[in-house]
Structure 1
Amino acid sequence: MTVDLEGPEPLYEQIAAVLGARIADGTYEPRRRVPSEAAICDEFNVSRPTARAALQLLGQRGLIVTVRGKGSFVIEQPSAEDS
């Protein structure tokens, strides 16, 4: 999945969708770090505010939690058996 620089969706939403898909498919495992703002900047060729907005959106969606000084981590989602 790639970002569409010319598309109508904001870049941060596209990046959040890519990272969210990676969380869903297990690329980024629960309780493990997701890429840093700097790594997102490098991978997607975007500015730091765009990378930050993507991570904030993932946090608002309940997919990650950011720990100051440590990074952003995937939140463990309740399994179907827990419901």
Structure 2
Amino acid sequence: MDPDARIDPYAPLPPFRQLVEILTARIERGDWPPERPITAEARLAEEYGIARNTVRRAIAVLTERGLLFVVPKRGTFVAKR
């Protein structure tokens, strides 16, 4: 998926899955270097026009895939490849 894509509320793919694909593309493009924080959940929700819970769900998927890791009270970071 295009790292600069927007969330399409009418697409067959749920918004959190679209966000997973977009964030994966942004990580692969190098928008956030390894071991550096990604954009805050609230900011991502605002940027993509979706609920913060939708962002959290996408982050959970990316964490399960090993692309991100969460440090409590610090943020969400890009994992080393």
Would you call these one fold, judging by a TM-score over 0.5?
A: yes
Structure 1 counterpart of 2:63:
59
Letter in 1 for 2:14: P
Larger Rg: 1
Alignment root-mean-square deviation, CA: 0.8
Of 2, 5, 8, which residue of structure 1 is paired with 2:6?
2
Q: How many residues align?
A: 77
Structure 2 counterpart of 1:40:
44
Partners of 1:14 and 1:28 in 2: CA distance: 19
Runs of 5+ consecutive residues of structure 1 not aligned to the other structure: 78-83
SS in 1 for 2:36: coil
**TM-score of the pair, normalised by structure 2:** 0.90
Partners of 1:8 and 1:73 in 2: CA distance: 29
Q: What is the CA deviation profile of residues 45-68 of structure 1, one whole-angstrom value per residue up to 9, with x for unaligned ones?
A: 111110110111110111000000
SS in 2 for 1:27: coil
Letter in 2 for 1:31: E
- What is the CA-CA distance between 1:2 and the residue it aligns to? 1.7
- What is the CA-CA distance between 1:15 and the residue it aligns to? 0.7
Partners of 1:13 and 1:53 in 2: CA distance: 9
Runs of 5+ consecutive residues of structure 2 not aligned to the other structure: none
SS in 2 for 1:22: helix
Q: What is the CA deviation profile of residues 17-68 of structure 1, one whole-angstrom value per residue up to 9, with x for unaligned ones?
A: 1111010011111011011110111101111110110111110111000000
